[in-house]
Chains A and B, each alone.
Chain A
Amino acid sequence: MIVNEQLAIDHGLKKDEYKKICDLLKRVPNITELGIFSAMWNEHCSYKSSRFHLKNLPTKGKNVIQGPGENAGVVDIGDGDAIVFKIESHNHPSFIEPYQGAATGVGGIMRDVFTMGARPIANLNSIHFGSPQHKKTKNLLRGVVHGIGGYGNCMGVPTIAGQTSFDESYNGNILVNAMTLGLVKKGKIFYSKAAGLNKPVIYVGSKTGRDGIHGASMASASFDDKIEEKKPTVQVGDPFTEKLLLEACLELMAGDSIIAIQDMGAAGLTSSSIEMASKGNLGIEINLNKVPCREANMTPYEIMLSESQERMLIVLESGKEEIAKKIFDKWNLDFAIIGKTTKSKKIELYFDKEKVADIPVDTLVENSPMYDRKWKKTKLPKRIKINKELFKTLKVKNILNKILSNPNICSKEWIWQQYDHTVMGDTIQKPGGDAGVVRVHATNKAVAASVDSSAIYCWAHPLSGGKQIVCESWRNLISVGAKPIAITNCLNFGSPENEENMGEFVECVQGLGEASAYLEFPVVSGNVSFYNQTKDIGIKPTPAIGGIGLIKDYKNMVTMDLKETDNILLVVGKTEGYLDQSLFARDILNEKNGPPPEINLFNEKNNGETILKLIDKKFIKSAHDVSLGGIIIALSKMCIKGKKGVTLKKPNYLINQIEYLFGEDQGRYIVEISKVDLKSATKILQDNSVHFDELGSVNDNNLIIDDKTKVSIDDLIKSHTNWLPNYMDN
């Protein structure tokens, strides 16, 4: 096949990028080489539009062992233990083929984690769908949930938390972000940096097929009318093989045979071999005839670009081939010595005794394009003017019912009941709480994890929205009694070639960087997904933040269910009744303008740390952060979980009832404290200059809002739980 500019453009490369390739090689690439360049230089693998901005994120901290740049981030949790974790998107394939797209997303992120030597101990996910009324939504939701469950359940890794939202901006581009946490001993972390000359390069796992060719390129482009034609670019997952691969890799890792290991994810054998060579400043030579293939007559081009799942590339210590082979034979997995490390600093491929590619590694990595794309700043919108006279015509009870059954608020039990969330026997906080919590096996420690995003806030003002999600993640961890350690981010945006979308990206990243620096909550891994766009319409900016925290003694974990009648409830943090961009404004007033709530990072940090002090002293019986829907929604969830009621007090300052109940001021928590501890607890709050108000007290069975408004717990449960199962059944 003749390689020319048009063929390069068909591979998703730009004209000037093709020219750069020819200049770097000082010749025209052959077809295999063109395929390799297109795979390495697409947005998904090269981060060419995002690198310039991502470098400003805070990535260091006293607990950080490994920041961005490896398969996943690693943090220290004491006693020689470390947590490996990362979140990754699988948006484009999940829209085209929801079951396989979501399943392989889960498989891919687990592989990233166990590549580093860690046994996966928890999965999370953040999934976003179009309007419930949209004709595709129901099937996509069902397919994605089945796919996530199908893969994670078979692997025997509990899915402990997640987030699901619906918004019409996802009608043509759903989001599927999967996150995995793994546990490893600090001294047994494996990296992808090759070292040493003439070391054997080993291929293990499944055979290579023709599935997923150009998957990474597909994920680097917008959708159009011909989306059905993209189906062959979606990979097909086999969780059974991955389970075997996990056990075999961990068995091999227990010894000292491995120099470097890298999973074959996006752009398969291409990116894994180049990554290892580049990090080790070495060359790699591969004989493609040795690669185990599933189909006959595969070309070098196909072998290099296949995204068949459940495969790993390993650089072994010389002389360890037999030991390694024995382990992979035991687990019935393919094992092949396909090449060796060289000093050439080139990637050299042979097929049928001919050299089919000869590319200096630095041209693919260091010399890959980087763009400082044009972007537009989003102005802070003007505050909305609300006619408070209107509030008098509203019944609090009706609004409460409506918001509790809002698709973005209602119970997601229909979803998480399809995920095995208890396998491994260490899940001590199930989905449905502020964060999922798993014990560190056979210790007193536990790790909490939460995944959050707020597309509405980010869309209204990306800078504030970016800060807000980091704070939300921080609050969710604090609410279960965990000390926040670090985050991973999955940055889902429209096209970077559109100035507004690029602006959303730049400012969200800036916001989340500011918040994570201030909270000392560094970013240790992540992934960027651009081109979540169909024709000219992009999604709302949806950065998802996966946060993890440590609970030193799992017995001190806090849950949100109300515990005991007559206990006192405090709302910690100031309630001013901020309604712009709130669920109340959007859902009840149909007012979609205005700036999102402001973030005060000092208060966030101070309030959170003070709550942890109260938890440490065992003063807090239950806790929940106040987020979407305000105080009354947070309280309702605490009532539902604990099957208890609450009698609200009138606030002791002048504030409209609607604003008080539904305002979405940030930095707030509701905590339950028994009467005997109240004085000591409030003293700690005062000593730390933390604002709090007494909200009310726990009763047996009703949410009593005022003299005229009383809602039974059964009614709350009905409003909260019925929407999703009814929607899926009809």
Chain B
Amino acid sequence: MHSSVITFPGSNCDRDMDVALKKFGFKNKMVWHDDVELPKSDLVVLPGGFSYGDYLRCGSMASKSKIMKSVLNFAQGGGKVMGICNGFQILVESGLLPGVLLRNKYLEFICKNVFVKANNKDNSYFKDDKKDVYEFHIAHNEGNYFCSNEQIREINDNSQIALFYSDENGIVNEQSNPNGSLQNIAGIFNKQKNVLGMMPHPERMIDPALSGEDGSIFFENLINNLK
């Protein structure tokens, strides 16, 4: 399986994602934002960080990078594109995913473990996953998902919600919503389910010595599904 991780100026989880993908068997390549063509890929990842310093709006300037034309084409052709944290922000700014990510409800950066519940397993990211509730890690200032009434209706009608913030038993309630996200949304798909954006960082949960191992489960399952 071949993957590509795009490095934008200000990306800072690109190395972490590279380490994670390689650990679970991907042949990963790092791709510079100013490049025009994507290498042969089964998965393209937009990593976390502060692309362009979050200036203007998070993800907005990166979404106009040269390489994004190829990413858009790749996604429109059904290619798997995953955006984590700032990568999710870039995906909504590029129009591949609906909605926006606002500043966290309490106006503070949050770095902690959270539980998320997988909502839709009928896709290559979560299919056959033995887990329903993952313990993932979040680290963001703008993860408060929001969209119009019409958009959320469409998102629900198409089962586009990928992950909800929940408690450890998978109950989705206000207490488990860390940032004020609409309907506790932690991650969404596009209509075709080949593009996934999510705020949590599975790449930080791939070793028992780190915050946990649910990221390992996610990546192992992902590579199996893509094979």
Q: Do A and B come from one complex?
A: yes
Q: Of A238, A241, A418, which one neighbours B111 at CB under 8 angstroms?
A: A418
The B-contacting residues of A in range 110-152, CB under 8 angstroms, are: 146, 149-150
- Given A239-B53, A243-B12, A244-B9, A423 and B139 contact (CB-CB distance below 8 Å): yes
CB nearest to B206 among chain A residues: A425
Looking at A153-161, A260-268, A364-372, the stretch in contact with chain B turns out to be: A153-161
Tell me, yes or no, whether B10 is within 8 Å of chain A by CB. Answer: yes
Q: 20 more A-B contacts (CB under 8 A) besides A146-B108, A154-B53?
A: A153-B139, A155-B12, A156-B12, A238-B53, A240-B10, A240-B52, A240-B53, A240-B54, A243-B9, A243-B12, A330-B34, A418-B108, A420-B139, A422-B111, A422-B204, A422-B211, A423-B204, A425-B16, A425-B204, A425-B207
The B-contacting residues of A in range 217-271, CB under 8 angstroms, are: 238-241, 243-244
B88 to chain A, nearest CB (A): 16
Q: Looking at chain A, what size class is its interface with the partner chain?
A: 20 to 34
Tell me, yes or no, whether A299 is within 8 Å of chain B by CB. Answer: no
Tell me, yes or no, whether B167 is within 8 Å of chain A by CB. Answer: no
- Given A423-B139, A425-B16, A154 and B10 contact (CB-CB distance below 8 Å): yes
Q: What residues on A are CB-neighbors of B13 within 8 Å?
A: 156, 423
Q: Is A439 a contact of B10 with CB atoms below 8 Å? A: no
Tell me, yes or no, whether A332 is within 8 Å of chain B by CB. Answer: yes
Q: What residues on A are CB-neighbors of B34 within 8 Å?
A: 330
Q: Is B137 a contact of A422 with CB atoms below 8 Å? A: yes
Chain A, interface SS category: mixed
CB nearest to B17 among chain A residues: A425
Q: Of A154, A331, A419, A554, which one neighbours B209 at CB under 8 angstroms?
A: A554
Q: Is B54 a contact of A149 with CB atoms below 8 Å? A: no
Q: What residues on A are CB-neighbors of B9 within 8 Å?
A: 240, 243-244, 331-332
Q: What residues on B are CB-neighbors of A380 within 8 Å?
A: none
CB nearest to A424 among chain B residues: B16
The list of the 10 closest CB pairs from A to B, nearest first, reads A156-B12, A240-B53, A425-B16, A154-B50, A420-B139, A418-B109, A428-B209, A420-B111, A422-B204, A149-B109
B14 to chain A, nearest CB (A): 9
Tell me, yes or no, whether A27 is within 8 Å of chain B by CB. Answer: no
A330 to B35, CA, bound (A): 12
Interface centre among B12, B13, B19 (most CB of A within 10 A): B12
A422 to B137, CA, bound (A): 9
A-B contact pairs, 8 of them (CB 8 A): A146-B108, A154-B50, A155-B12, A239-B50, A240-B10, A420-B111, A422-B210, A425-B204
A96 to B172, CA, bound (A): 44
Q: Is B50 a contact of A419 with CB atoms below 8 Å? A: no
Interface centre among A154, A239, A241, A330 (most CB of B within 10 A): A154
Residues of A within 8 A of B (CB): 146, 149-150, 153-156, 238-241, 243-244, 330-332, 416-428, 430, 439, 554-555
A353 to B211, CA, bound (A): 60
Q: Is A243 a contact of B10 with CB atoms below 8 Å? A: yes
The A-contacting residues of B in range 12-71, CB under 8 angstroms, are: 12-13, 15-16, 19-20, 34, 48-50, 52-55
Q: Is A421 a contact of B10 with CB atoms below 8 Å? A: no
1/0 contact string of B94-121 vs chain A (CB within 8 Å): 0000000000000011111000000000
Q: What residues on A are CB-neighbors of B93 within 8 Å?
A: none
A253 to B114, CA, bound (A): 39
Q: What residues on B are CB-neighbors of A421 within 8 Å?
A: 111
Q: What residues on B are CB-neighbors of A430 within 8 Å?
A: 211
Q: Is B49 a contact of A418 with CB atoms below 8 Å? A: no
A440 to chain B, nearest CB (A): 13
Q: Is B139 a contact of A240 with CB atoms below 8 Å? A: no
Q: Is A439 a contact of B209 with CB atoms below 8 Å? A: yes
Q: Of B54, B111, B210, which one neighbours A428 at CB under 8 angstroms?
A: B210
Q: Of A146, A154, A424, A439, which one neighbours B54 at CB under 8 angstroms?
A: A154
Q: What residues on B are CB-neighbors of A156 within 8 Å?
A: 12-13, 49-50
A423 to B16, CA, bound (A): 8
CB nearest to B12 among chain A residues: A156
Q: Is B210 a contact of A417 with CB atoms below 8 Å? A: no
Tell me, yes or no, whether B135 is within 8 Å of chain A by CB. Answer: no
A243 to B49, CA, bound (A): 11
B85 to chain A, nearest CB (A): 10
Tell me, yes or no, whether B214 is within 8 Å of chain A by CB. Answer: no
CB nearest to B111 among chain A residues: A420
Q: Of B10, B50, B111, B211, which one neighbours A417 at CB under 8 angstroms?
A: B111
Q: Of B20, B55, B207, which one neighbours A240 at CB under 8 angstroms?
A: B55
A204 to chain B, nearest CB (A): 15
B20 to chain A, nearest CB (A): 8
Q: Of A330, A331, A425, which one neighbours B19 at CB under 8 angstroms?
A: A425
A427 to B204, CA, bound (A): 9
Q: What residues on B are CB-neighbors of A428 within 8 Å?
A: 209-210
